[in-house]
Amino acid sequence: MARTRKVTVSTDAHGHTAGWAATELAANLAPPPDRNAAAFFDVDNTMMQGASIYWFARGLAARKYFTTGDLARFAWQQLRFRLLTTEHAGDMSHAKQAALAFVEGWRVEDMERLSEEIFDELMAPRIWAGTRALAQLHLDAGQRVWLVSAAPVEIGRVIATRLGLTGAIGTVAEVQDGAYTGRLVGDLMHGPAKADAVRQLAAVEQLDLARCVAYSDSSNDLPMLSVVGRAVAINPDNALRQTARMRGWEVRDFRTGLKAARIAVPSTVAAGLLAGAVTAGLAVRRRRQNR
* Best CA proximity match to 233, nearest among 2, 14, 46: 46
Helix (H), strand (E) at residue 22: strand 17-22
Phi, psi of 3 (to 5 degrees): -115, 165
Distance of alpha carbon 145 from alpha carbon 165, whole angstroms:
6
pLDDT tens track for 235-267 = 999 999 999 999 999 999 998 754 444 444 444
In this structure, of 75-84, 156-165, 179-188, 217-226, the range with the lowest mean pLDDT score is 75-84
pLDDT tens track for 194-206 = 999 999 999 999 9
Distance of alpha carbon 271 from alpha carbon 291, whole angstroms:
30
- The crossing angle, in degrees rounded to 10, of helices 267-290 and 89-98 is 40
* Best CA proximity match to 122, nearest among 72, 176, 70, 48: 48
Phi, psi of 185 (to 5 degrees): -105, 110
Hey, what's the torsion of the CAs at 277, 73, 52, 253, to 10 degrees? -160
Neighbours of 139 (CB within 10 A): 16
Q: What is the residue-wise DSSP string for 231-285?
A: EEEES--HHHHHHHHHHT-EEE----GGGGG-PPPPHHHHHHHHHHHHHHHHHHH
In this structure, of 91-105, 110-124, 185-199, 264-278, the range with the lowest mean pLDDT score is 264-278
Predicted confidence (pLDDT) at residue 12 exceeds the cutoff of 80? no
Average pLDDT, the chain: 78
- Position 74 scores a pLDDT of 56
Q: Are strands 144-152 and 213-216 parallel, antiparallel or unpaired?
A: unpaired
Hey, what's the torsion of the CAs at 137, 141, 142, 146, to 10 degrees? -30
Q: Catalytic amino acids?
A: 42, 44
- Position 169 scores a pLDDT of 94
* Best CA proximity match to 43, nearest among 142, 139, 162, 128: 128
* Best CA proximity match to 274, nearest among 18, 65, 27: 65
**What would the 3-class secondary structure string for 99-138 be?**
CCHHHCCCEHHHHHHHHHHHHHHHHHHHECHHHHHHHHHH
